[in-house]
Structure 1
């Protein structure tokens, strides 16, 4: 989640914004242009007053009967992480041929290129085209051309920005279009806001961003809002994603989110799994549910029992969250989730244990 336009520095935004504020809404500009650059076609056209389309690479879609995914990328910040994106592209195309990518955004970049994610994607092998759609209204999720492009693509990437706007697409055609990409063996992913929307329980931030201290002091704070039923990807059930994880100290709020998901029945089976990824980190998840981390650290936070105390206006008490810390190159099996290798941390009357981001892993369990 990022309450400022794509390409805006998180540090500068935090410095100029109050600690707690509503998510910034940015109206996208619309451009129309046709040019040839870097040996590929760049096509831009206006589809609706609030929807813009810019396509890089081939003007014709890749044609192929079957694909080898699904595959997913879950990024801690908004940009493409080449290492994990390359793994996803290769997994989906089975190492041969090329595929089409669609990037979905709800705002234009604050500066620089209008297509920063596609610029990065086009530098990878196995890419036929990359199309950026900027959709600024909830109803733009029914844009016919956008849905056609999505359904013809093999990977959909949700840019950073505002996950509340992404959650608003739940009742539009866009949701089923993205699901169709995964169903045919393609993939989905995203960074920051795009990471949030790809979990089973999405922290939608529709009333504003909440800090760890606020969430632990009152897990039912009005800023702690969720969307369910948007996506429920294979092997990734019961998850709640969080981003910018260590830099913005979000372990505490993920703990509160996990407790809320258990108390409110937002997950099944009595377990909720927070997945926090640090800026610069990315989880590639293959069709068998095996996640491999590239870049900065990631954390999986398990709540496997009901909270001791979670109530409106009261601080959280929850004993023994099980936490796995992943470093670059480490794996986590979301299909056959581990029962060992975690460390334990608790929250008592809204106060979390010290050193939340490190601990001695359990053995022999």
Structure 2
């Protein structure tokens, strides 16, 4: 830069002219000066026009509004007295597969909480994004927002069952999850439901925070807990954390260690998972199961949990795995895949008695609404990075009615549906559903 221009003038440093006098002829120097003089006149004329222009008012700006730490919405009376029990003898979980919410599953949570007409009760929904849309759906009995004991389909009718409030907390950060106000609201819940969304938010924002401790305290009191889609994904001892893109069946089977397969805990461990309810030990879950053709990726997820071992033909299992593969026992690698508009009602039944489960759906469902219980009976024979997965004799049990009771503790109560194999990254049979 050889000069500095401003609206009122354009000046060139004196040292530039000293160099010019030693290099230019007098006539060229005079021509240069005339040119500069003309340029100065032009700038003066432009400046005059600018200053003669009508004054323009300075724009005004509203101060930026602070982003709220969390959002809280309540329907009903949060100050109403509650006499429903704050602790219960056995645990209760709703495992929901996404898509349309299953109305009777919400009613079951309310009933399992010991809430009845006259007892009061607080139903708290937690999520990292979204709105308070669950509040009226759970609290009211119909689209007139009545609290009638006649409950229309697509409504839960919680108030008629005894709820005094439904509350939603949107908790979008670690700071919000550590908020004393957030945890004070959650700690008073008689039922907790984790909404759908993105389970990576729940792992990134909630794990290791005061919120996780509040959830564990509630579960220690056997307060009923439910979750759908992403909310389902974080209820197992092992969670598919989906920190990047959602894994597909094709990519998972071709490389069981590709980057979109992420777990919590990481690395896989028998301790340290997010909330990890004891009643759901050794399990991993997946949602939207048959509508998104997720069997291939789910078998891959479960295979990754299988610990390395030695067999007569060589090594087996997966690097980083922590549980055995077996067709018996209750501490083996296994998982539950749940279809859309489907809920699995899981309950404890007392000391030395098994944890059991029943499937429910909506009366008007147009899908099969099935639950798939998946367990590899032998370790994968090929399970390492950048190699297609090979695992055989994977047991699949299918529950598609609401009368059968499945024994989660010993994995019985539903007959074997199919054995599936993945050979060199390809699922057989492909039409598993």
Aligned to 1:145: 181
Report the alpha carbon displacement of residue 337 of structure 1 after superposing the two structures with TM.
2.1
Q: Which has the higher contact order (CA 8 A, sep 6+)?
A: 1
Greater strand share, 1 or 2? 1
**Conserved 8 A contact 1:203-1:225:** yes
| Residues 264 and 95 of structure 1: CA distance in aligned 2, closer, same or farther (over 3 Å) | farther
Choose 1 or 2 for highest CA Rg.
2
> Which deviates the most, 263-272 or 196-205?
263-272
Q: Tell me how far apart the structure 1 counterparts of residues 287 and 224 of structure 2 sit (CA, whole Å).
A: 20
Aligned to 1:333: 407
Report the alpha carbon displacement of residue 55 of structure 1 after superposing the two structures with TM.
1.0
Q: Provide Cα deviations, 1:61-112, integer angstroms capped at 9, x if missing partner.
A: 624454434211111106542111212221221756342111111112xxxx
Alignment of 1:42-191 (within 5 A): 49-60=68-79, 62-68=82-88, 69-77=90-98, 80-93=101-114, 97-108=119-130, 114-122=131-139, 123-124=157-158, 125-168=161-204, 169-191=206-228
Aligned to 2:364: none
**Conserved 8 A contact 1:218-1:312:** yes
**Conserved 8 A contact 1:79-1:191:** no
Alignment of 1:216-295 (within 5 A): 216-228=253-265, 229-262=273-306, 263-264=318-319, 267-268=322-323, 270=325, 271-288=332-349, 289-295=355-361
Aligned to 1:32: none
- Asked whether 1:201 is paired with 2:238, we answer yes
> Which deviates the most, 322-331 or 156-165?
322-331
State the secondary structure of the residue aligned to 2:167. strand
Unaligned 5+ residue runs, structure 2? 1-64, 140-156, 266-272, 307-317, 326-331, 350-354, 362-368
Report the alpha carbon displacement of residue 196 of structure 1 after superposing the two structures with TM.
0.2
TM-score of the aligned structures, taking structure 1 as reference length: 0.79
Q: Tell me how far apart the structure 1 counterparts of residues 79 and 322 of structure 2 sit (CA, whole Å).
A: 41
**1:299 counterpart (372, 388, 400):** 372
Q: Tell me how far apart the structure 1 counterparts of residues 116 and 165 of structure 2 sit (CA, whole Å).
A: 17
> Which deviates the most, 92-101 or 129-138?
92-101
The alignment's C-alpha RMSD in Å is 2.2
Q: Tell me how far apart the structure 1 counterparts of residues 105 and 432 of structure 2 sit (CA, whole Å).
A: 23
Runs of 4+ more than 4 Å apart: 264-267
**Conserved 8 A contact 1:308-1:318:** yes
**Conserved 8 A contact 2:377-2:393:** no
**Conserved 8 A contact 2:83-2:120:** no
Unaligned 5+ residue runs, structure 1? 1-45, 109-113, 359-365
Q: Provide Cα deviations, 1:129-165, integer angstroms capped at 9, x if missing partner.
A: 1111111113321111111111110221111111001
State the secondary structure of the residue aligned to 1:252. helix
